[in-house]
Amino acid sequence: MDTANTTSRISNLTFQDVQQAAAVKAETIKTWSVKTYKCTKQILSEKLGRGTKTVDLELEAKIEILRDTKRKYENLLALARALATHFSNIIQTQKVLGEAFAELSAKSQELQEEFRYNSETQHVLSKNGENLLAAVNFFISGVTTLCSKTMEDSLITVKRYEASIHRLEFDAYRSELEALNLAPRTEANIMKQAVAQGAFNSHKANYDKLRSDVDVKLQFLDENRVKVMQKQLLLFHNAISAYFAGNQQELESTLKQFNVKGSTPAIASQSWLEKE
């Protein structure tokens, strides 16, 4: 049944319809062939040093800055992760040490108070160490998102820009137009020049839009990077300063300010670095 309907539709096509469809197809193939030829010619000219390649020096500088910034931030991340690993080991050691002091306090009457003080100190240190570790891990998470998602998304856009055929097409039609502008002013060349100018304008618009999109993307990324890092660096500084200054309340306040979930607050009547 379907075969019969198809045959019927084909038979109803007039010779003019078939001729028109063939003409459209032929024109499409011709346009593709001409464009492919011009682009191939441009590639060969660039490789042989005869043709010029359009380079946006300002945009290229921004792209290189992005790549360099990403490398430096990734190095910062590696160091922060190493710090978190080492500090986590210290906290675990403090917990075990505190337990050892507590056990000796129960079994050594003559040094009971001294062992108890040290046990409590290690307990408080480990608790506040967990708060600092939570802040460091929050810093690591924020910078990781910035590098692996935000920056990487922008670099994907950059790679598409670098791999785009729009630049090649733009240069191919620019080279053709420049050659026609230098050719004798015959009627045929003037007509060719008009056609080439129209094609050049079209491809220039495509290329300019692509460059503009990348430039805007990089600008938004830079604004977001500064905003994110201002928050993360303030958190990191305040948490580190409070911890090593022995200011338990300030450390807990810092976690609360940045909505970082830490450990249960340690109970201490004095600063946890001022135990006797």
Please give the CATH architecture assigned to the domain spanning 62-257. Up-down Bundle (1.20)
What's at 34, amino acid-wise?
V
Model confidence at 26: pLDDT above 60? no
pLDDT of the residue at 48: 66
Q: What is the pLDDT of residues 140-198, one digit of tens each?
A: 999 999 999 999 999 998 988 887 777 778 778 788 778 788 878 888 888 888 888 88
SS3 string, the chain, reads CHHHHHHHHHHHCCHHHHHHHHHHHHHHHHHHHHHHHHHHHHHHHHHCCCCCCCCCHHHHHHHHHHHHHHHHHHHHHHHHHHHHHHHHHHHHHHHHHHHHHHHHHHHCHHHHHHHHHHHHHHHHHHHHHHHHHHHHHHHHHHHHHHHHHHHHHHHHHHHHHHHCHHHHHHHHHHHHHHHHHHCCCCHHHHHHHHHHHHHHHHHHHHHHHHHHHHHHHHHHHHHHHHHHHHHHHHHHHHHHHHHHCCCHHHHHHHHHHCCCCCCCCCCCCCCCCCCC
- Banded model confidence at residue 274, pLDDT cuts 50, 70, 90: very low
Say if residue 2 is exposed, middle or buried (CB neighbours under 10 Å; 0-12, 13-18, 19+). exposed
What's the pLDDT tens digit per position in 73-120? 999 999 999 999 999 999 999 999 999 999 999 988 899 999 999 999
* pLDDT, position 97: 95
What are the tokens at 44?
A: 């060969």
CA separation, residue 189 to residues 175, 196, 259 (Å) = 15, 10, 70
Q: How far is CA 175 from the centre of its chain?
A: 35
Taking only the tens place, the pLDDT of each residue in 28-73 is: 565 556 667 666 776 777 676 766 777 788 999 999 999 999 999 9
Where b means 16+ CB within 10 Å and e means fewer, 77-115 reads: beebeeebeebeeebeebbebbeebbebbeeeeeeeeeb
The encoded tokens of residue 223 equal 């604004």
Q: Where are the domains of the chain?
A: 62-257
Rounded-to-integer distance, Cα 254 and Cα 250, Å: 6
Using CA atoms, how far apart are residues 222 and 82, in angstroms rounded to an integer? 27
